[in-house]
Amino acid sequence: MLLIAAVVATALVVGITHRDEPADSPGARPGGRTGVDLLARITDYTARFTPGTGYRPPTRTERRTAASGLRLLLAGHADQAKERLSEIDLSLGTVTDSFTGRRYAEIADRTEQGRAPRGWGRVYVETDSPARWSVQVPHPVADRNTERLAVGVLRGSQGGVLVIAGAHRKAGTGDAADVAHRRDSVFDAFCDELAERGLPGLQIHGFADDSAPGRDVIASTGRGREGRADGRLLADELRARDFDVCRAWVRSCPLEGHTNVQGAKAAAEHVPFLHVEFAGALRTDAPRTARAVEAMRRVTAAWEKGGTS
């Protein structure tokens, strides 16, 4: 059974050959082959990220407007959400993933194609199912292939929301774009909104192999305790797939995510939050990546049903 699951997960990570179509395209029906390859759409977007690309921190008003736009979208008021987001030059369209046939609302930054991108990121919200959980990518490209793992997780369970940062973590001035440790970002505003709605979150990171020699994964619940059962399930599923996992709630591990601001917010809201670090060798080997995605999907499958493990 694990072999079959790994094959399925590999397909979810690798994706298919269809290329992007514009947002608001008619999209696909389940089982069809039209629409966009969501993996290609996202990796084409993040491929532009470098430490030298632009990043502008948003104002407090801009962060609040972004959060209220997402709030309206999740409440089913797409037209109002679109109008609200447009106030800060964010667009709202729809895309259909040609692999799964699922439709997603896409919040994007209109400055992405400009000479001076702000780097405020994107959000994908499945439109055919109530939002139940989120997967978050604060360091795309900088933590290599974490965006690929996130798309694999999103494709594997219904009710998911993907939040992806819009710049390399070293872009801009100082640590301004390191959104996992900054409260003043649009990424954080979106994640705060999800936590306030009670959606459990899975945040994906990557570490250099010499940061934790011999370990494949570092699993943590950040500052909170609400995700302990989910963390144990994830660690057990990873261990069953031959990964060496450091469980931060059992022993001291490097990179435990205790300074992660999204984790702090989730803890304050008593919402499950998993901070998961993957070694570089795992993130660059397709079969191992697929097994990791399948393990994470066991957790999101429980969240999809509106509960925890």
- Tens digit of pLDDT for each residue in 152-181? 999 999 999 999 999 999 999 999 999 999
85-109 mean pLDDT: 97
pLDDT band at 269 (very low <50, low <70, confident <90, very high): very high
Q: Between these two residues, 68 and 308, which has the higher pLDDT value?
A: 68
Q: What contacts 168, CB < 8 A, 6 or more positions away? A: 49, 50, 51, 53, 140, 141, 142, 177
Taking the C-alpha atoms of residue 106 and residue 60, their distance in angstroms, rounded to an integer, is 22
* Mean per-residue pLDDT, 205-233: 94
Residue 2's pLDDT is: 43
* pTM for the structure as a whole: 0.90
As a whole number, mean pLDDT of residues 23-52 equals: 75
Helix axes 146-156, 286-304, angle to 10 degrees: 40
* Confidence category of residue 27, pLDDT binned at 50, 70, 90: very low
d(CA 156, CA 38): 13
The confidence band for 271, taking pLDDT boundaries of 50, 70 and 90, is: very high
Q: Work out the pLDDT band at 255, boundaries 50, 70, 90.
A: very high
Question: What pLDDT, on the 0 to 100 scale, is given for residue 114?
Answer: 81
